């Protein structure tokens, strides 16, 4: 049994907890059930907010995140998802889009869970993954 997720889309963008902690953990909601121990670890000291991009539209999530960044001086955003999910990868892109739209640059960590282990992914990898032509060029160079 996992923890009960708090949904990003149902959370006040300038809520008291966000103003006080100024650190966010935005995570794929399935982690509450699949990896509750990792979720507890990365939630410590952060406002933890769940997102499922199978249920919520990318634009809604990105605007909600941008609204948070615009209203609160967020120090850190940690994104935690499973690796390989076409839906979860969008959450990493939504955070980068919110930063770009607002011009705010909180310290950002992109984390994915692969075979039960957390792997940190460079921001450049997230940005590159958005452009399939760039990924293709990288693959062509490695062959």
For residue 3, tell me if it sits in a domain: no
* Residuewise pLDDT in 10s, the chain (143 residues): 345 789 999 999 999 999 999 999 999 999 999 999 999 999 999 999 999 999 999 999 999 999 999 999 999 999 999 999 999 999 999 999 999 999 999 999 999 999 999 999 999 999 999 999 999 999 999 87
CATH number at residue 32: 3.40.50
Q: List the beta bridge partners of residue 111.
A: 80, 120
For residue 1, tell me if it sits in a domain: no
- As for how many domains the chain has, the answer is 1
Question: Which domain range does residue 29 map to?
Answer: 8-142
Q: What is the dihedral of CA 138, 81, 24, 134, to 10 degrees?
A: 10
Query: What pTM value is reported for the model?
Result: 0.94
């Amino acid at each position: 049994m996992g923890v009960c997720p708090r949904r990003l889309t149902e959370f006040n963008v300038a809520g008291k907890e966000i103003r006080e902690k100024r650190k966010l953990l935005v995570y794929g909601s399935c982690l509450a059930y699949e990896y509750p121990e990792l979720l507890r670890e990365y939630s410590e000291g952060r406002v933890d907010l769940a997102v499922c991009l199978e249920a919520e539209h990318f634009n809604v999530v990105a605007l909600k995140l941008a609204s948070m960044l615009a209203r609160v001086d967020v120090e850190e955003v940690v994104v935690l998802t499973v690796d390989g999910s076409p839906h979860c990868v969008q959450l990493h892109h939504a955070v980068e889009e919110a930063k770009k739209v607002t011009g705010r640059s909180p310290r950002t960590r992109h984390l994915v869970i692969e075979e039960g282990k957390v792997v940190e992914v460079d921001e450049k990898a997230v940005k590159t993954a958005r452009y399939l032509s760039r990924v293709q060029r990288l693959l062509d160079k490695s062959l």
